[in-house]
Amino acid sequence: MRTNSLRSRLLLVMALVFALGAGNVVIYLLDLDEDIRAHVLKEQVDTILATVTPAPDGSNLGALPVQFSASDWRYALYTRSGELVASAPAGTAPLPFRNPEALPETARAAITARLIGGDRVLVASRNDWEDCEELCQLFRERMAGSSVVIAILAAISLVSIIFLARWMLGSVRRAAELASTIGVAHPDRRIPLRELPEEIVPLAVSANQALDRLSSAYEIERRFTADAAHELRTPLAVLDLRLQKARTEQSPDWNAIARDMEQMRHLIDQLLALARADQGGDRPPHEPEACVGLARIVREAVADMLPAYEATSRTIDLDIAEGLVVADANRQLRQALRNLLDNAFRHGQGQVSVCLASWDERTAVLRVSDEGPAVRRGDGDVLFERFHKGVQNSPGSGLGLAIVRRILRNLGGDARIGTGPTFAIELIVPLAQPDTVRA
């Protein structure tokens, strides 16, 4: 039996407890003879003193019996200060003085002391070897019989412990059998918690949570693979046709080929960005939070897109409130805003406006609008769906706004269609609280 199994450990602990209990019984039986000797001595001294009371000068000490209850007795009479007054029988060495107040009632020796008349101490002792031998023989017989009973109880306890451990661990075994079936075919199965011992439940809960995370990661990977295969099929087919045509032409249309390559690069970048957003971003776990000014993030994102706008003679108007701070969201928010500006550049019209304002002490609103036609808010959610395009033949990937909403929701905010006469997207950005802002 493996010693690292829970069943083996239960058996070992319960067997140890049983052994300790049996050991205590044996020790108690071995000590019981001493207790009986002390009790018998006390009773016999009481009987002797009931017949003869020693005189203060010890003149009648010899009247005390030297043979009593098949034992040889000796006596010594002392003052309270420990001075010897008399001893009996004559010709024997006097017993040592003992303080009757310091001597416990359960003295484990065949000697005792009693206070006589308030100022005398009688020390009495007996030779109880014969009684001790009889007691030892009696206890040896009792121990022999008790050993058989203890052995039988040990066997019964061992069998009971085995069945108890099997019953206790039955639910764990069934949970393990079900957990072994969790896989690609049954990704939604989880370890049942109802029948598990409460000490095992936290482990099962953690395992179920880990399975939930793995299932989510698997679903993200499956969706990414399906999206990539679906969306890259058409541009790859178009590029293949252009390359086949280029082999037969004297002057291939390299500009068209370059546009197709750029479109595929853009699509792949968007797919990767969406996969990272689905996984909660690319910040390493347990990395300490860093608070950043929201106005700084907006200016950096606008600066990234400004060359493309200037190349087409379009402008970006800024209206930014200062002093708004976000925690640990620099790269994610910057990417979301760049996606909005790229979306406005590719599909919007006229001047683009970026407005940042506080909604309340916990939330800011970042609004990006252009001069294109407005969309009703009730009809706007479809624009945030993956691969949805306002104009199906447009060169975009249909992922920009889906990435934006995913990033904002990962941060605890959201993205929505803004109200007004022109097209606008509003980002609801959670702000850092004062106790998290670093000096």
Q: Evaluate if residue 392 carries a pLDDT over 50.
A: no
**Which of 92-96, 176-180, 274-278, 428-432 is predicted least confidently?**
274-278
Q: How many Å apart are CA 337 and CA 414, to the nearest integer?
A: 13
Give the chain's radius of gyration (CA, Å). Answer: 48
Q: Give the domains, in start order, of the chain with CATH numbers.
A: 289-436 (3.30.565.10)
For the stretch 326-376, pLDDT in tens is 876 677 788 888 888 888 888 888 899 999 998 888 889 999 999 888 877
pLDDT for 220: 65
Chain position carrying tokens 């989510």: 216
Task: Quickly state the pLDDT bin for 21 (edges 50, 70, 90).
Answer: confident
pLDDT for 75: 92
Q: Evaluate if residue 292 carries a pLDDT over 90.
A: no
pLDDT for 194: 77
What is the DSSP-derived secondary structure letter of residue 263? H
Chain position carrying tokens 């950043």: 292
Q: How many Å apart are CA 76 and CA 88, to the nearest integer?
A: 6
Q: How many Å apart are CA 367 and CA 190, to the nearest integer?
A: 43
Whether this model's pTM surpasses 0.95? no
Element containing residue 256 per DSSP (H, E): helix 254-278
Q: How many Å apart are CA 119 and CA 11, to the nearest integer?
A: 62
Q: Looking at per-residue confidence, does 394 or 115 come out higher?
A: 115
β-strands 316-320, 352-360: how paired? parallel
Which positions ≥6 away from 233 have C-beta within 8 Å? none
The backbone region for 280, taken as left when phi is positive above 0, alpha when psi lies in -120 to 50, beta otherwise, is left
Q: Evaluate if residue 78 carries a pLDDT over 90.
A: yes
- Record the tokens describing residue 203, joined without a space: 């482990």
For the stretch 320-332, pLDDT in tens is 888 888 876 677 7
Chain position carrying tokens 């019996």: 65
What are the Cα distances from residue 177, in Å, to 162, 174, 203, 204, 368? 21, 5, 16, 13, 54
For the stretch 114-143, pLDDT in tens is 888 888 999 998 876 666 666 666 666 666
pLDDT for 108: 46
For the stretch 230-260, pLDDT in tens is 566 666 777 777 788 778 877 777 777 777 6
β-strands 352-360, 363-373: how paired? antiparallel
pLDDT for 361: 81
SS3 354: strand
Q: Among candidates 124, 129, 100, which has minimal Cα distance to 47?
A: 124
From the CB of residue 9, how many other CB atoms can be counted at a distance below 10 Å?
Answer: 13
pLDDT for 355: 92
pLDDT for 285: 45
The average confidence (pLDDT) of the chain is: 76
Is there a contact between 158 and 129 (Cβ–Cβ < 8 Å)? no
Average pLDDT over residues 272-295: 63
For the chain, percent helix, then strand, then coil, each to nearest 5?
55, 15, 30
pLDDT for 135: 60
Average pLDDT over residues 6-16: 71
